[in-house]
Structure 1
């Protein structure tokens, strides 16, 4: 199995859970905050993945990655922090009881 195929279930789950929170309060504010968090996590991933790969702590077999890289890091590595930035707040939102309108 290739790394891009491994990412697909995480991305689908993230989209599904995030969309399940559309009708919850402050959806747009949560999406903005998740977007900012995703940018920060992508920047950190770019720095630290490149450092770890350059230090030869791990490698990726060429036939298992898409071939698109940011520095030394394959683009697939960036999907996980983006998913986390959107999925974690969405799950927290779903686990928080709705306020009683009465």
Structure 2
């Protein structure tokens, strides 16, 4: 299995879970703009820090299993994990908040207790 196949399965599972969590959370969904900003920041951080870690020899990849596309020294496949996290975690947070609101009985117009 190549790194891109592994990444595709990982991102696919995260997207499916995010869709399910969005349905569960109802109207308290994660904001797409916030997700997009998070993805942009995480991609920049991944490019910088993966390049540094690869350059210092902390880890390396088998060239046989890579696509060959790099951003800095970071292979394109490395960007799947921050993408999956930036998609999955906000939807999980929104679903948990919706569940808490339903459990506590907070209406949409009420302020959340501290």
Normalised to the residue count of structure 2, the TM-score between the two structures is: 0.77
**Shift in Å, 1:65:** 0.9
Q: Which has the larger radius of gyration?
A: 2
State the Cα distance separating 1:26 from its structure 2 match.
4.7
State how far apart, in whole Å, the 2-side matches of 1:54 and 1:30 are: 36
Aligned length: 100
Let me know the Cα RMSD of the aligned residues. Answer: 1.8
2 CA distance for matches of 1:25 and 1:14?
20
Map of 1:48 onto structure 2: 49
Shift of 1:49: 0.3
Unpaired segments ≥5 residues, structure 2: 108-114
Look up the match of 2:84: 83
Query: What is the Cα deviation at residue 24 of structure 1?
Result: 2.4
Q: Identify the residue that residue 10 of structure 1 maps to in structure 2.
A: 10
